[in-house]
Amino acid sequence: MGRFVARRLIYMVVVLLVVSLITFGLMHAVPGGPFDKEKALPPEIMKNLEKRYHLDQPLWQQYLSYLNSVVIPHFNTTAPGYTVDSDYLINVKLGTVWLHWMNFGPTYSSRSRTVNDIFRQQLPISAQLGFMALMVSLFIGVPLGILAALKQNTIFDYLGMSVAIFGVSVPVIVLGPLMIWIFGVTLKWLPPTGWGAKPPYVLGIFPSKLDWGFFQHAIMPSIALGLGGSAVIARLTRASLLQVVREDYIRTARAKGLEERKVITNHALKNSLIPVVTILGPMFASLITGTFVTELTFGIPGMGKYFVTSITNRDYPVIMGTILLYAVFLVIANLIVDIMYAYLDPRIRYD
């Protein structure tokens, strides 16, 4: 297993390099630049801007200096400063020397912020929302799927799957405003928009207070976002469980005279979760890194928006940053999924 993980980590570096190269090439190939506006800027102003952001350099040089500032650790004696160019994600003091690592660069849309600031301030919010939405998906999806499978072709099955179809079919863009209107505006039970946590975060991720003030903002968006996922999980769980209960080893377990409850929980359920775990990887990565529509609908200051606006604005460092971030989460989530396979199904071995 150790060798397997090590090998996968090496692959990961290669994958990320390829992703960064393709992204970099594509975004520069698309016409239009970051400073094209309705009000065209005079060429002299353009020149100043391009110089400031090193866009006047050849592309290969820009790519190499990007890699240099993101990948290569820098050692020097200067403490972290206030300039955008010296904003590193990781700053460690080793005796008299500072280690600076990972500067994802500026954002063209704001001079006083950097891509690292977006990671520090917006990513935790998206991660909090994404995690809760994932929990909603699991806690609704798995039981619903099990119920539907065990009571196949009964009213429970039909009802459960109807709920699932509803969850898949009604997008957040409909569900969100509807929930806001009912629970936020009309009944006034929950605040219509906003998020209940702000920087600084505990350990860089967790809200400093887990109280009603936090959860009241999280309830509606988590449900709106999680419902779609729960439907997918419910259908997968149902299908997979139905297949597993027809396997020989389940028949054997039953033949041994094992209680039906034990047959299901100890033998069937664990194996039936493999497809569910498979889909959890990408689902986790996409939920954690931000969801554009949900965040916009509920006015949540998360990462989701940056995935979209960075592209329309040609905000190159933010495009690179968001895509690499997503890629990292995706690769790691898939690695964890692969590791989990081995526990769920002892027949799967990697070494």
Partner 1 sequence: MGPGDIPTLDPSLATDTSSIQIAWELFIGLTRQDEVTNEVAPGMAESWTYSEDGKTLTFNLMKDIPWVKYDAVTESVVQVLDCDGNPRVVKAQDFLYGIERTLNPATASQYAYVLAFALAGASDYNNGTSTDFATVGAKVIDDYTLEMTFNENAVYNAAIAGMWVAYPEPSWIISGDDCTEGRGDKWTETGFIQSYGPYVMKEWVHDSMITLVKNPFWAGIPSVPAAKIEEVTWVMLDEQPAFAEYEAGNLDAAAVPSADLDRVKADPVLSAELIVAPNLCSYYYGFNTKAPVVDDVRIRRALSLAVDRQSLIDNVLKGGQIPAQWFSRPGLAGAPTLESHPDLGVKFDPAAGKALVDEYAAEKGIAVDQIDLSLMFNTSSGHQRIAEAIQQMWKDNLGLNVKLVNQEWAVYLETVKSTETPQIWRMGWCPDYADANNFIKEVFDVNGSSNPAKDGEPYGGINWKDEAFSAKLLEAARELDPAKRVELYAEAEQMLVWDEAAIIPIYWYSRNTVTKPYVTRTFGSAGQEAIEKWDIDMAAKLGQ
Site residues (CB under 8 A) for partner 1?
A: 30-33, 35-42, 44-45, 47-49, 51-53, 81-84, 109-113, 117, 121-122, 177, 180-181, 184-185, 188, 191-195, 198-199, 296-299, 301-302, 305, 309, 312-314
CB of 121 to partner 1, least distance (A): 5
Distance CA 196, CA 221 (A): 12
Nearer residue to partner 1 within complex by CB, 167 or 304: 304
CB of 193 to partner 1, least distance (A): 4
Nearer residue to partner 1 within complex by CB, 109 or 265: 109
Nearer residue to partner 1 within complex by CB, 188 or 261: 188
CB of 83 to partner 1, least distance (A): 5
Nearer residue to partner 1 within complex by CB, 3 or 188: 188
CB of 108 to partner 1, least distance (A): 9
**Cβ-proximal residues to 235 (8 Å cutoff; 6+ apart), any chain:** 145, 161, 164
Distances, alpha carbon 264 to alpha carbons 87, 183, 238, in Å: 53, 39, 13
DSSP assignment of 123-192, as one string?
HHHHHHHHHHHHHHHHHHHHHHHHHHHHTTTSHHHHHHHHHHHHHHHS-HHHHHHHHIIIIIIIS-SS-S
Nearer residue to partner 1 within complex by CB, 188 or 256: 188
CB of 195 to partner 1, least distance (A): 7
Q: Are 311 and 319 in contact (CB under 8 A)?
A: yes
Nearer residue to partner 1 within complex by CB, 5 or 185: 185
DSSP assignment of 89-127, as one string?
SEEEEETTEEEEE----EETTEEEEEHHHHHHHTHHHHH
**Cβ-proximal residues to 1 (8 Å cutoff; 6+ apart), any chain:** 339, 342, 350, 351
Distance CA 160, CA 145 (A): 7
CB of 60 to partner 1, least distance (A): 23
Tokens encoding 42: 């005079």
